[in-house]
């Protein structure tokens, strides 16, 4: 499952039959959170702030559950 934002493709992979709408809701919420932290969510802003993005993902996910 993926979404496109600016020039990025944000991807989620699942091994099991998962709730697709929940995954898409999470991906769009992830884009919202990243937009709040970095006004432009682009490849360079993610590359420059990789540690912050990793910590945000860690806080938003618990053992693979949003």
- How do residues 18-53 score in pLDDT, each as one tens digit? 889 999 999 999 999 999 998 888 889 899 999 999
From the list 63, 64, 7, 61, the residue with the least C-alpha distance to 29 is: 61
pTM across the whole model: 0.84
Q: Scan for tokens 């945000």, then name that residue.
A: 56
65 pLDDT above the threshold of 80:
no
d(CA 14, CA 16): 6
d(CA 43, CA 47): 6
16 pLDDT above the threshold of 90:
no
From the list 55, 56, 65, the residue with the least C-alpha distance to 14 is: 65
pLDDT tier for residue 4 given thresholds of 50, 70 and 90: very high
């Amino acid at each position: 499952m993926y979404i496109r934002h600016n020039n990025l493709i944000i991807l989620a992979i699942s091994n099991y039959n998962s709730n697709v709408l929940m995954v898409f809701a999470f991906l769009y919420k992830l884009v919202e959170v990243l937009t709040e932290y970095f006004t432009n969510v682009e490849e360079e802003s993610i590359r420059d702030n990789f540690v912050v993005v990793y910590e945000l993902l860690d806080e938003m996910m618990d053992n693979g559950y949003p």
